[in-house]
Structure 1
């Protein structure tokens, strides 16, 4: 049986305010072509189909279209929700969807109940563990202990609830001695490397789970971290299909192709995904960025620029976008740093009139004094404020 492991689609996400639906469609629809070319039997999606718990209509339509294309290409799907998803929304009509080859594992109380699929070597049990928010998951797990079992306390952190979840998976799997096993989970596993675009899931300062929690299964298909990586040979993150922060600029986005033989995993291959638009970071004075021929290669990239002018450039982003139409972020960091030590507010305003305070505020924000026309505008605004106070 051949599996395709993917996760963290985050459909509906924006990139510094830029709509990514077209980019997401271009990459995710490629998965259907990969399923067809590689004769993939099952596609695993380990959480975060959407970027928010209440996705837009456009995001839902895109997700449904992608899932349909994958199914039409010949693969069945096993899906779990991540920390960005609403389990109730993702799991709606799960029983009906399973009849069409889409298996949605969204309920904490039923995480030990696998989807069992067959190949020429026998059964493969797929266990989907939805993202486990520690306290709610703890309550559900405590209330759904096996009949007659002594109530066992479960800690209020990620290692405790995921550890209990995996204990239940292993107990169920013990009754299937002939089955190979795959677990989908959405968590931060020790040994993984984070990016800037993942939402913090720490509870009480504890977010990481030891990789040993997945001992006893043939393959753990993880989601949450956006960089493709191997925690161990059989515990892997596929990463997100697109870059969602500039910290991911050096990553080559990909999926894992996992071959299950008679004895378990026989091969794992990495397949790189297309890049709709590259990311680039540039630094220098605004005039240098606008005119340096070395930056010509970045004109079609998403660009994050650090401008080093001593004074904050006026209309900096607009001017950058004249050369880099897809510039999405600009940071101002004067080359020499701001002159003078920062003063406490009470010291900064002592002995100064309102006009000087306002002018100094503008100078501090921009790194340079306001122009003559700007000073006149500020003075006029102060006069209007004083006049309104007199009328009141």
Structure 2
């Protein structure tokens, strides 16, 4: 069986005020072409299909067209919900979609019930694990201590592996979470830092995913191979300048009669490159070397000592797709670090990590204790649940 692993489409997300729908449509059209050219049997989408819980009508049209294209290219589809999705909306009419070959898994109580698809070697069981917010799902399993992502994912994988033991055969798990080994490799540490400034909270140990032949993960926007059979595919588009150096594509996974046979990266097109240019405003406007970036998305980091007059207007005369400007005056080595606390923590850090970093900031490096971390996880989870409600 040949599987294409993708995730984090984030249909409806804007990029510095610009719609990404047309660009994403081009990439998903290319994905459909890859499905047809490579003879893909199943496309897996590991969460964050939409960027918000209430997508606009155009977002549904794009999703419908993409799914119709994949099915027309000859592949079945297995989709799970991510933390950006509304599980109820994404899972609407799931039984009818399943009959059409698009299997949408958003119900936590269905975690141990696989979508079973067959090839010439027999069945392959696909276990979809939707994003699990502890405060929203702990009532489903009242006998379990479910305070953190690690605990809920360990419980979910327990359900998966219990069912696997009864059914036998080959299997694929699909999950949307932060995953890392207990002793991460330098490559993984670098990937996590660059993607989301991830810390030690809300991380699911790699060992918890043991069992299935392949684990298709979503949530981190850069591709990552945590183990041969445990991988992130990343997002199909670049959604921030911090992702500019990360390739866009999907994993092509082959299963033979014994299990995982091969995994290969499949590139997808980048509709418009992203580049960060650094220098004074005059340097960016005059340097001939920057001419090649006229058609790129540009983040201009201005090093002028003082703010300049109408910098965006001037920059867009040369770079029509200049998306954002950051003013970072160059400081001498003896000057103190003038960055704000927010900048030191890092944009995009998970809420529990922000609290943990703040405690370290105000307590001279002393981070939260184990009891405090449990309390932080409870409070953050409950606030997320209130916000969703």
TM-score per shorter chain, which class? 0.7 to 0.9
Give me the whole-angstrom Cα distance separating, in 2, the residues matched to 1:308 and 1:320: 14
Give me the whole-angstrom Cα distance separating, in 2, the residues matched to 1:216 and 1:310: 56
TM-superposed deviation, 1:51: 0.6
* SS of alignment partner, residue 166 of structure 2: coil
Name which one, 1 or 2, has greater alpha-carbon Rg.
1
Give me the whole-angstrom Cα distance separating, in 2, the residues matched to 1:49 and 1:37: 24
Q: Does 1:300 align with 2:291?
A: no
Partner in structure 2 of residue 348 of structure 1:
none
RMSD: 2.1
1:197·1:244 contact (CA, 8 Å) conserved in 2? no
Q: Does 1:164 align with 2:162?
A: no
CA deviations over 1:292-332 (Å, ceiling 9, x no partner): 10100111110001112222111111111110000011011
Unaligned runs of 5+ in 1: 143-151, 343-392
The list of structure 1 runs, each at least 4 consecutive aligned residues, that deviate by more than 4 angstroms after superposition, is: 195-200, 339-342
* SS of alignment partner, residue 240 of structure 1: coil
CA deviations over 1:132-190 (Å, ceiling 9, x no partner): 11121222233xxxxxxxxx33230011111011111111111112x200000001001
Give me the whole-angstrom Cα distance separating, in 2, the residues matched to 1:215 and 1:333: 45
* SS of alignment partner, residue 175 of structure 1: helix
Partner in structure 2 of residue 2 of structure 1:
2
Partner in structure 2 of residue 54 of structure 1:
54
Partner in structure 2 of residue 385 of structure 1:
none
Q: Does 1:194 align with 2:192?
A: yes
Give me the whole-angstrom Cα distance separating, in 1, the residues matched to 2:305 and 2:166: 70
TM-superposed deviation, 1:197: 6.7
Q: Show the 5 A alignment for 1:137-148.
A: 137-142=137-142
Partner in structure 1 of residue 353 of structure 2:
none
TM-superposed deviation, 1:196: 6.7
CA deviations over 1:322-367 (Å, ceiling 9, x no partner): 1000001101122347x9999xxxxxxxxxxxxxxxxxxxxxxxxx
- Residue 308 to residue 206, structure 1, CA distance change in 2 (3 Å): closer
Give me the whole-angstrom Cα distance separating, in 1, the residues matched to 2:227 and 2:335: 51
Give me the whole-angstrom Cα distance separating, in 2, the residues matched to 1:341 and 1:271: 46
Pick aligned residue for 1:270 from 262, 265, 268: 265
Give me the whole-angstrom Cα distance separating, in 2, the residues matched to 1:251 and 1:141: 39
CA deviations over 1:7-57 (Å, ceiling 9, x no partner): 000011111111111110110111110110001000000000011111111
2:253·2:263 contact (CA, 8 Å) conserved in 1? yes
Partner in structure 1 of residue 225 of structure 2:
230
2:43·2:75 contact (CA, 8 Å) conserved in 1? yes
Give me the whole-angstrom Cα distance separating, in 1, the residues matched to 2:103 and 2:193: 29
* SS of alignment partner, residue 77 of structure 2: strand
Unaligned runs of 5+ in 2: 338-389
Give me the whole-angstrom Cα distance separating, in 1, the residues matched to 2:100 and 2:271: 31
1:47·1:186 contact (CA, 8 Å) conserved in 2? yes
Q: Does 1:185 align with 2:183?
A: no
Aligned residues: 330
1:227·1:237 contact (CA, 8 Å) conserved in 2? yes
Partner in structure 2 of residue 250 of structure 1:
245
TM-score, scaled to structure 1: 0.81
- Residue 165 to residue 340, structure 1, CA distance change in 2 (3 Å): closer
